[in-house]
Amino acid sequence: MLEQILKQKEKEVVALHERYGSDLRARAEAYVFSTDESSKAGALTAGPSERTEGRSLKRALKSVAEGSDIPALIAEIKRKSPSKGVLREAFDPLKIALDYETAHVQAISVLTDVPFFAGDPAFVSLVKRVTRVPVLRKDFIIDSIQLYESVLIGADAVLLIVRALNEEQLFTLYTEARRLHLDVLVEVHDLPELKRALLLPDAVIGMNNRNLNTFETTLETTYELLPHVPKDRLIVSESGIRTHEEMRMLKQRGVHGVLVGETLMRASDLVQAVYKLRHGHSTGAHGAATST
């Protein structure tokens, strides 16, 4: 499946180059580095008028590193997946984002892949406008032009999947993303991939508990990789997290954040679902969730 997705991404990258050429890079750089507000008009969508420097994924992960018995929660907005099909029939990214904001999640992950996950790059701008937390663009990034697009739709962070990239691609994309002031979640699934990720200075390590070949999930993936990560690195456990107890165990083992998608997308009440993940039980009424 990953190979099929990457072939589609290659076509999308060609289309982006044909549509924008070098203009997209110039617009992204102006958006990031210029102090002239007129340059902000280069955004691809009607997103925020300026980049919000305070929206740092790293800072969000560190903010709950101490004083909490659970990791930071990166809540995902995802309509469907290749392995599970449609996850949320009544899919409204605006309402989902507002519910996550009400529930005080630390960050929001937005699937932007169109053919396989029914996402849309425009969802990032939509979420950014109505929330105050960092927004992670989750897609299969294989070319710098996707980073420029990410900047212009308002992403604060992007995902780089080690398995999808060769050594040169991984280093080049990571370096360019950091130059553009994007935080980067570098995703790994096994020890060889982790060793490659650790060569990237200060990268946030995402441990994907889902096997991208079989799509099966197990938290043992995170537990097996944790001993190989230096103490000064930020770690996010991705996929397969369903309960408060699992979150507590991950925090005790040294995980700084968790990325939760399917569990939340299948919930009828997102605010209650977030609260239950954090506390192990529901609140008495909708909307009563508090930050942790």
Active-site choice (12, 149, 193, 238)? 238
Distance of CA 168 to the CA centre of its chain: 22
Asked if 109 is an active-site residue, the reply is no
Among 9, 78, 80, 276, which one carries the catalytic annotation?
78
**Assign residue 70 a region: left if phi > 0, alpha if psi is -120 to 50, beta otherwise?**
beta
State which amino acid sits at residue 17: H
Compute CA distances 22 → 19, 133, 144, 147, whole Å.
10, 30, 11, 13
Sign of CA dihedral 75, 78, 83, 84: positive
Options 76, 149, 193, 246, the catalytic residue: 76
Q: Is 187 a catalytic site residue? A: yes
Tell me the HSE value of 88 on the side-chain side, using a 13 A CA sphere.
Answer: 23
Which residue of the set 81, 239, 246, 276 is catalytic?
A: 239
The catalytic position among 138, 149, 209, 246 is 138
Active site residue 238: yes
Whether 74 contacts 259, CB under 8 Å: yes
Does the active-site annotation cover 220? no
**Of residues 187, 193, 246, 262, which has the active-site annotation?**
187
Q: Respond yes or no: is residue 89 known to be catalytic.
A: no
In the set 109, 144, 150, 208, the catalytic residue is: 208
Catalytic site residues? Answer: 76, 78, 138, 187, 208, 238-239
